[in-house]
Amino acid sequence: MNLTTSFQTTFSKRPTLQVRAPGRVNLLGEHVDYNDGPVLPIAIDRAVSVAGMPIEEPVVRLHALDMGEGVAFRFDQISEKIDLEGRPLPGWALYPAGVAWSLLEAGHEVSGVQAAFNSDVPVGAGLSSSAAVEVAFAALWRAMGGWQVDNLGLAQLCQRAENKYVGVSCGLMDQFASACGVEGHALYFDTRSLEWQPLPLPPGTLVVIADSGVRRSLTTSAYNDRRAACERAVELLRAYKPEMRALRDISPPEFAAYSPYLPPEVAKRAEHVVKEITRVGSAVRALQRGDAQIFGALMYAGHASLRDLYEVSTPELDALVEISRDLPGCHGARLTGAGFGGCTIHLVDEAQVDAFMPALERAYQERTGRQAQVYLCRASAGVEVRPAA
């Protein structure tokens, strides 16, 4: 059953608007967005789709096709996170509810709505399914309300929803990529200045995603612990660099001088961030030259740092990266997203990709006993709103 048909079955009316908001995969710059660092994501050709229509009553009525569940809640009870019957909102509903809360807090008009949505972004795979849901609903309410906020501003409102309402201390990258994606391009995004530019992917290469099958939950993972360690590092390093605002503000040589004065675990976490920020700068120059070999080497280095210093990899993610080193046509690979499970990303020669994908699947199953979902991924445009068909 397609989205429009499902909407009609659920609400006995036709939707007026349809929204598509993509997931994202990060090529390089992992765990630096909440440290004011630059990142290199792409929006992907897997997305959340929402069909919706405004209604007069101040109520949100949602139907999640993938879950086979529905829920309704009132705007005047949104801060309580309860439905019309006074029951706690299910976890999946916190994302659209959080967006409504964030928009209302910012003074935007938010109409009552009936909406059905589905997704082909794998949940818990590190491809930002939650950010795609947030951006899709924010764009839906923007279109219904007719208020003027650009896509970057929309991403910031969605980030606030996830930070303050859902309770995940994510940076801005995920929502930014979903909102601002450019077809065929990576997005260089400076999370401090909010300046960004699209950069073409290396000629003759394609991006392959491998889903390890290991799932994680950000809110119950050690994600927030990693962020706290970075903040602690900044506090301690201010004894030597009083002007520091974030780990963005210390160079690798300076960090090497001062890191012995940090607790060992804090030093490891901070070392990853400091060096990863430098890797992003090198990667931008590689993309500007179209140098797939250097870009790929930086991906491998980034994975080793996430494994050994930030400690967010798993044996399954490591296996996917290690296997890819020995397969023809693969320039680089690393885990993508927060880690603790999810996906790896691989930069592969277009001429070799048809052989690469089944070879990676076979070797991964032989090594781990698990089945990986391996698929091509193309850089796509960001959020789009159109009249419902």
Rounded to the nearest 10 degrees, the angle between the axes of helix 223-237 and helix 264-289 is 100
- The values of phi and psi at residue 69, to 5°, are -130, 155
Nearest to 342 by CA among 21, 123, 162, 48: 123
Q: How many angstroms separate the first and last alpha carbons of the chain?
A: 15
- What is the sign of the dihedral through the CA atoms of 92, 94, 96 and 99? negative
Element (H, E) at 196: strand 196-200
Kind of pairing between the strands at 343-349 and 205-211:
antiparallel
**Residue appearing with tokens 């991964």:** 364
Q: How far is Cα 71 from Cα 60, in angstroms, rounded to an integer?
A: 8
Q: Given 33, 36, 83, 174, which residue is catalytic? A: 174
For residue 209, the Cα-to-chain-centroid distance in whole angstroms is 14
- The values of phi and psi at residue 221, to 5°, are -90, -175
Burial of 52 (0-12, 13-18, 19+ CB in 10 A): buried
For residue 139, the Cα-to-chain-centroid distance in whole angstroms is 17
What 3-state DSSP class applies to 329? coil
Q: How far is Cα 102 from Cα 96, in angstroms, rounded to an integer?
A: 10
Q: Is 349 a catalytic residue?
A: no
- Supply the DSSP symbol for 375: E
- The values of phi and psi at residue 116, to 5°, are -120, 145
- What is the sign of the dihedral through the CA atoms of 39, 163, 306 and 346? negative
Q: How far is Cα 263 from Cα 265, in angstroms, rounded to an integer?
A: 6
Beta-carbon contacts of 160 under 8 Å, excluding residues fewer than 6 positions away, are 102, 105
Tally Cβ neighbours within 10 Å of residue 236. 17
Please identify every residue annotated as catalytic: 174
